[in-house]
């Protein structure tokens, strides 16, 4: 199978992802769904999941029932230099505390993952203070937090490429160990600031439309946050425009580039990923900017309450499967969607057809 790697040329090539399900197979999948014991389209978004999963299984040459047996939620954690400007309710000291609670099992994402039957792990992409060794922590550190994007690049172009490679390798290793669904989340104080700047750079949208309240900041802090995003774009956009990886190096975060690489690595292996909220959505946007066809392997869990999230989904021309008004990040939304995915696949496998019960189509 062709492999994905950022080389010295800082390019990526996954020709296998360009394969398209033939028209007759697409029609056969749709026919099966439409002829199940229900009105056509009556299962709504569950039918979207059925089509996407069946199509990916076909491209992988898989036969038999569609199923999720080994889902995994990976939280990508890192710190941001811009956090020193107090664009969040708390400072970078909170990042390792939250990671500790993820592992202890009493954070929101820990509870959601446990209820959904999803294994949880942390990838340390560059938390200021390295996360202590733990069986469920993988070190993919690119540094001890990024540069402050309103004054300097977040990282070098070489570091961004290294982060993409690390993410690809994480996904390959998990897929080789049996992961058949990857859910992604993130942790890092001030990462909505970096994500907003990167979204504006990738989409061309106005910075104010991309920059929201994050942890729940007040109006004055939001105005300050937007000023810093404006400064970052004025500083970096002229030299990085139309180059997604360079934009990520100038404006993004360690967790964003590693997560984007993981999305490409999972797709390379034929494994679908569930995207959580705003920051994960920006990582998905970066992955799609680099390899547009990766979008076929992404499911967007929810449309959250963070400013810019709905606009980002519209830009990507995708629909989120849940509302819920989540604004917590961490991967809570992606964990919550797993039981729905399992139900959709069970319906595809097990529902009777109209003809089987003696009805005409």
**How many residues in total does the chain contain?**
361
Residue 189 DSSP one-character state: T
Task: State yes or no: pLDDT of 140 exceeds 70.
Answer: yes
Residue 275 lies in a domain: yes
Residue 15 lies in a domain: no
9/301: higher pLDDT:
301
Please report which residue ranges of 148-212 form alpha helices under DSSP H.
157-176, 191-203, 207-210
Least confidently predicted of 4-8, 54-58, 131-135:
4-8
Could you tell me the sign of the dihedral formed by the alpha carbons of 9, 235, 311, 89, in that order? positive
Distance CA 273, CA 48 (A): 14
* Domain match, 146 and 274 both: yes
Q: Could you tell me the pLDDT band of residue 109, with boundaries at 50, 70 and 90?
A: very high
Q: What is the dihedral of CA 50, 52, 57, 58, to 10 degrees?
A: 100
Distance CA 110, CA 119 (A): 9
Token output for 89: 């309710």
Average pLDDT, the chain: 91
Task: State yes or no: pLDDT of 295 exceeds 60.
Answer: yes
The predicted structure's pLDDT at residue 217:
87
* Domain match, 37 and 143 both: no
Task: State yes or no: pLDDT of 304 exceeds 60.
Answer: yes
* Domain match, 251 and 323 both: yes
Nearest-Å Rg of the Cα atoms of the chain is 20
Distance CA 333, CA 68 (A): 17
* Domain match, 103 and 192 both: yes
* Domain match, 117 and 137 both: yes
* Domain match, 350 and 258 both: no
Task: State yes or no: pLDDT of 357 exceeds 90.
Answer: no
Residue 47 lies in a domain: yes
* Domain match, 201 and 134 both: yes
Q: Residues 54-62: what's their mean pLDDT? A: 88
CB neighbour list of residue 20: distance below 8 Å, 6 or more residues apart = none
Q: Domain span at residue 38?
A: 21-67+346-357
Residue 325 lies in a domain: yes
* Domain match, 181 and 249 both: yes
Q: Could you tell me the pLDDT band of residue 248, with boundaries at 50, 70 and 90?
A: very high
Least confidently predicted of 107-116, 209-218, 266-275:
209-218
The predicted structure's pLDDT at residue 7:
42
Task: State yes or no: pLDDT of 2 exceeds 60.
Answer: no
Q: Has 330 been annotated as catalytic? A: yes
The predicted structure's pLDDT at residue 214:
84
Residue 14 lies in a domain: no
Residue 90 lies in a domain: yes
CB neighbour list of residue 337: distance below 8 Å, 6 or more residues apart = 183, 274, 299, 301, 302, 321, 322
Which among 178-187, 218-227, 300-309 has the top mean pLDDT? Answer: 178-187
Question: Domain of 36: which CATH number?
Answer: 1.10.1610.10
141/6: higher pLDDT:
141
* Domain match, 34 and 116 both: no
CB 121 within 8 A of CB 138: yes
* Domain match, 29 and 150 both: no
pTM over 0.95: no
Q: Could you tell me the pLDDT band of residue 261, with boundaries at 50, 70 and 90?
A: very high
Residue 30 lies in a domain: yes
Q: Could you tell me the pLDDT band of residue 4, with boundaries at 50, 70 and 90?
A: low
Question: Domain of 147: which CATH number?
Answer: 3.40.50.10210
Q: Could you tell me the pLDDT band of residue 1, with boundaries at 50, 70 and 90?
A: very low
The predicted structure's pLDDT at residue 74:
98
Residue 6 lies in a domain: no
* Domain match, 50 and 199 both: no
What three-state secondary structure class fits 51?
Answer: helix
Distance CA 163, CA 142 (A): 7
Beta bridge partners of 299: 274
* Domain match, 42 and 161 both: no
Task: State yes or no: pLDDT of 9 exceeds 50.
Answer: no
Q: How many domains does the chain have?
A: 2
Q: Which of 121, 162, 306, 330 is catalytic?
A: 330
Q: What is the largest CA-CA distance in the chain?
A: 70
């Amino acid at each position: 199978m062709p492999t994905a790697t950022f080389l010295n040329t800082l390019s990526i090539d996954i020709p296998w992802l360009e394969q398209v399900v033939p028209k007759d197979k697409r029609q056969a999948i749709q026919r099966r769904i439409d002829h199940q014991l229900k009105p056509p389209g009556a299962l709504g978004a569950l039918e979207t999941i059925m089509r996407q999963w069946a199509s990916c299984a076909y491209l992988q040459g898989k036969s038999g029932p569609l199923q999720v047996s080994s889902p995994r939620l990976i939280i990508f954690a890192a710190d941001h230099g811009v956090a020193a400007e107090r664009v969040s309710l708390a400072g970078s000291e909170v990042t390792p505390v939250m990671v500790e609670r993820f592992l202890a099992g009493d954070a929101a994402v820990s509870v959601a993952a446990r209820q959904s039957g999803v294994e949880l792990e942390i990838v340390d992409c560059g938390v200021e203070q390295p996360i202590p060794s733990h069986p469920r922590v993988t070190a993919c550190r690119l540094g001890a937090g990024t540069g402050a994007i309103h004054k300097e690049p977040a990282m070098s172009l070489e570091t961004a490429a290294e982060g993409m490679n690390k993410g690809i390798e994480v996904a390959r290793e998990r897929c080789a160990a049996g992961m058949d669904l990857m859910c992604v989340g993130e942790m890092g104080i001030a990462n909505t600031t970096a994500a907003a700047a990167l979204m504006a750079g990738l989409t061309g949208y106005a910075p104010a439309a991309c920059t929201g309240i994050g942890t729940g900041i007040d109006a004055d802090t939001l105005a300050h946050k937007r000023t810093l995003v404006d400064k970052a774009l004025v500083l970096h956009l002229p030299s990085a425009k139309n180059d997604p990886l360079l934009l990520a190096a100038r404006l993004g975060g360690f967790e964003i580039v590693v997560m984007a690489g993981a999305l490409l690595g999972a797709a390379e292996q034929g494994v679908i990923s569930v995207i959580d909220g705003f920051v994960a959505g920006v990582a998905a946007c970066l992955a799609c900017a680099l390899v547009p066809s990766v979008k076929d392997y992404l499911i967007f869990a929810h449309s959250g309450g963070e400013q810019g999230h709905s606009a980002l989904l519209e830009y990507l021309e995708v629909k989120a499967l849940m509302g819920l008004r989540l604004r917590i990040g961490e991967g809570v939304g992606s964990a919550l969607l797993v039981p729905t995915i399992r139900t959709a696949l069970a319906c595809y496998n097990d529902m009777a057809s109209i003809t089987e019960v003696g009805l005409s189509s």
